[in-house]
Amino acid sequence: MKLNPEMADIPIIFLTALNATEDIVKGFKVGGNDFISKPFNKEELIIRVTHQISLVAAKRIINKQTEELRKTIMGRDKLYSVIAHDLRSPIGSIKMVLNMLILRLPGDLIGADLYELLTMANQTTEEVFSLLDNLLKWTKSQTGKLKVVPQEIDVVKVAEGAAEVFGMVAELKKIRIKADLPADAIPVRADVDMIKTVIRNLLSNAVKFSHEGSEVVISLRKEAKWPL
């Protein structure tokens, strides 16, 4: 009876003249929810049956609420994904334009006030773009769409690429990114996109919280079996 999905939730109360502990335990092991010893009392039987019915009703309410919550979470994650995906591209374009403007229009040419406004707009755009990127990755992980594809990669080249990408961003704050990387390749088996995300997040935080005129060093070395 308990193996049938349509009948599994039906409570079973066994009526028995056996009241030894091992007999009661055996009854519960085979699927009983409660027991009544003979001779039974009518009022006790009614109370026990009512109790089991209440438990079943409560379980059905919980299951219904759980399903509704699951659907709500799925809808939320889908909404977040759409927002992050649709906004990421235009924000990225704005970010690129602001970077180019700051590099080609120095402060002494357009004035300190306008240059400061451009710098603030660029910094805000960088933060929004990073937020959208992280939101998109998070929603993919929540919906099971984030696929991990391990492959042989050269982590030195990945680090070099990240340093080059953030070189322009760092230059806007007059921060120098120094790549202290080995000449030889360091092969690892990992998901290249995830490794890039980790390194870029580290560089982004380093540039964000470094003072103007400072230096950010990205170094990589092989220690025992692990590249650091």
Bridge partners, 13 (sequence order) = 34
Q: What's the token pair of residue 4?
A: 């049938």
Dist. CA 186–CA 153, nearest whole Å: 8
User: What are 122-178's pLDDT values in tens digits?
Assistant: 778 877 887 787 777 777 777 766 677 788 988 888 888 888 877 777 877 788 888
CB contact at 8 A, 154 and 187: yes
Q: Structurally, what CATH architecture does the domain formed by 151-219 represent? A: 2-Layer Sandwich (3.30)
Dist. CA 128–CA 121, nearest whole Å: 11
Name the nearest CA neighbour of 192 among 161, 167, 224.
Answer: 161
Dist. CA 106–CA 75, nearest whole Å: 46
User: What are 172-213's pLDDT values in tens digits?
Assistant: 778 888 888 888 888 888 888 788 888 888 888 888 888 888
Dist. CA 20–CA 143, nearest whole Å: 51
